[in-house]
Structure 1
Amino acid sequence: MKQIPILFVIIFLFCFSCKKEDKDTSTNLTEIKADSVAGMPLDTIYADDNSETSLDWDGVYAGITPCANCKGIEIELVLRKDKTFVLKTKYVGKGAEKINTEKGTFSWDESGSVIVLHGLEYKPNQYKVGENHLVQMDRQGKVVEGSLASKYILQKK
């Protein structure tokens, strides 16, 4: 008879002492942001990944863009790390083909992928920065599309 109460006590302890532990293998966004790689939070690693911070953008870019009343516009654009530029343009097939030189500063847009040349009026002043090239944007700040789109790309020298 003494064995039955002892047996109930053992079963009771066994049943209530074992807890089912839920293991959630899914990961939510807040857990990812709390994680780190080499002591650096993941949101810090990827937050600044853009053309300004990830590409070797300074240098000399050149190309010939379309022109409404000439054969084309030869462009040479020098971008410097101190955020200054030198822009040389020449209208090919139009008179003496004088080289116009303009200098100034530029800034990056909020996305860090487009530069804006300051002080240029009545001409395109925005360029989308890519790996070893710039894409001249129209005066409204949009990438030119269509059959002439490839003509607005300046290659890095």
Structure 2
Amino acid sequence: MKKLVVVTALLLSACSQLPDIGADKPTTLSAEKQPVLAVPIPAPVTDASEVANNDTTESLATDFEHIFIDTDMTFEGVLPCADCSGIAYHINLYRDGRFEARQEYLGRGQVQLISGSWLLEKRTLHLINQQSTLPVFHFRSNQHLVMTDLAGKPILSSEAYQLSRYASLKKLDQRQPLLGMYQLKNNVATFITCQNGDTLPVANTQNHLPMMRLYQQDTRLNNKPVIATLVGRKSADQHGIDTLYIDKFEQFWPNATCPDQFAQKQLQGIVWRAEKVANRYIPHQLNVRLIFEKDRLYGFSGCNNFNAGYQQRANTLSVQPLASTRKFCAEASNIEQQFTEKLQQVDRAEVNADKLQLFFNNQVILELVPAVN
């Protein structure tokens, strides 16, 4: 029995000894002696909401990273406006770094065509133009632009501040109201815009013919330049020359001139566009305008032409009863009635900076601005 205990102790002592491999030699185990850990491999889990990659998911991949304008894009939408029913935007972004935009103040008909270059900082889009200031936008995704606030943060509280991407690049609508100097010589017409001084040949299209006939029939004009109001668009002709294409002729304004933005405005000789009647904005597309000549005034009240005599002494002004055509236009009748009534009540006129204010009993009842379009 003692012999068995001694043999067992010797065997246990031998198993506890480590081989002497020296302090500077690494300890290694042979491949046969390395322990093998059995790690279970989980079975694949199928997500019922997962959708396989396709053209749509691949095109949206940049939604979660940086945005790249590597194709021509069109964005459209209506943004809020403090003093109108909204501002409609059509913005074309071109991959070569250019942009074109159409900005229309709804209800006022004021249209601006703006072009320039764009700058993209991660998701922030800057539209750069020397003469105009446009909103800064944030790419919420490559399908939506969101206007930023004054701190540069995207306004995400309402979709009213968002423009949506059109399915494909959409041609910009170039039509806009224009006011400028028109002249016809030997059936060749030119038009100089009052807004920026561009001199444009006028295309002899069907919409131009009524304007040509009226110019030729009016003995006061006799080949002289005359201010005209119209709706038109500038586009290159077949030879690449910028040309004016008239969509709608409105009116000639004999004895008027383009307003000088640097000179003190005078009452006479300027086409005034009515902007407000009794603190209510007048839709621009109604083209409510008038001009004061030496002892008479005439204009367009949204549906009808009118004229009247007037008297002015210093700032006092009195307008005689209006003579007017008698057409009915449902969309203009309310504004037209208010405008003509207020015009005949005027007792004082003041030109302040770039506005003409007409008063009655020391209250502004009509506000007008020099028309440049």
Q: Is the 8 A contact 1:124 1:137 kept in 2?
A: no
The reply to whether residue 98 of structure 1 matches residue 110 of structure 2 is yes
Deviation, structure 1 residue 125 = 3.1
Aligned residues: 119
TM-score (norm. length: structure 2): 0.28
- Aligned-residue sequence identity (percent) comes to 21
Deviations along 1:29-87, one digit per CA (max 9) or x if unpaired, are xxxxxxxxxxxxxxxxxxxx4112xx766410000011111111000010011111111
Deviation, structure 1 residue 140 = 3.9
Q: Secondary structure at the match of 2:129?
A: coil
Higher relative contact order (CA 8 A, sep 6+): 1
Q: Which of 123, 126, 133 is residue 116 of structure 1 equivalent to?
A: 126
Q: Distance in 2 between matches of 1:153 and 1:60?
A: 13
| Match in the other structure for 1:127 | 137
- What are the equivalent positions in structure 2 for 1:1-150 lying under 5 Å apart? 11-13=17-19, 17=27, 49-52=65-68, 58-94=72-108, 97-109=109-121, 112-119=122-129, 123-129=133-139, 130-146=141-157, 149-150=158-159
Q: Secondary structure at the match of 2:126?
A: strand
Cα root mean square deviation, aligned? 3.7
Q: Secondary structure at the match of 2:19?
A: helix
Q: Distance in 1 between matches of 2:136 and 2:71?
A: 14
Deviation, structure 1 residue 118 = 1.3
Larger Rg: 2
Relative distance call for 1:124 and 1:103 in structure 2 (3 A) is closer
Q: Is the 8 A contact 1:86 1:102 kept in 2?
A: yes
Q: Secondary structure at the match of 2:82?
A: coil
Q: Which runs of 5 or more structure 2 residues have no equivalent in the other structure?
A: 1-9, 30-64, 167-373
Deviation, structure 1 residue 127 = 1.0
Deviations along 1:97-130, one digit per CA (max 9) or x if unpaired, are 1321110001112xx1111111267744311112
Relative distance call for 1:123 and 1:150 in structure 2 (3 A) is farther
Q: Distance in 2 between matches of 1:74 and 1:88?
A: 8
Once the two structures are overlaid, the 10-residue window that deviates more, 98-107 or 136-145, is: 136-145
Q: Distance in 2 between matches of 1:12 and 1:99?
A: 92
Deviation, structure 1 residue 12 = 3.2
Q: Which amino acid aligns with 2:119?
A: S
Q: Which runs of 5 or more structure 1 residues have no equivalent in the other structure?
A: 20-48
Relative distance call for 1:150 and 1:57 in structure 2 (3 A) is farther
Q: Is the 8 A contact 1:51 1:57 kept in 2?
A: no
Q: Which amino acid aligns with 1:155?
A: S
Q: Distance in 2 between matches of 1:83 and 1:150?
A: 27
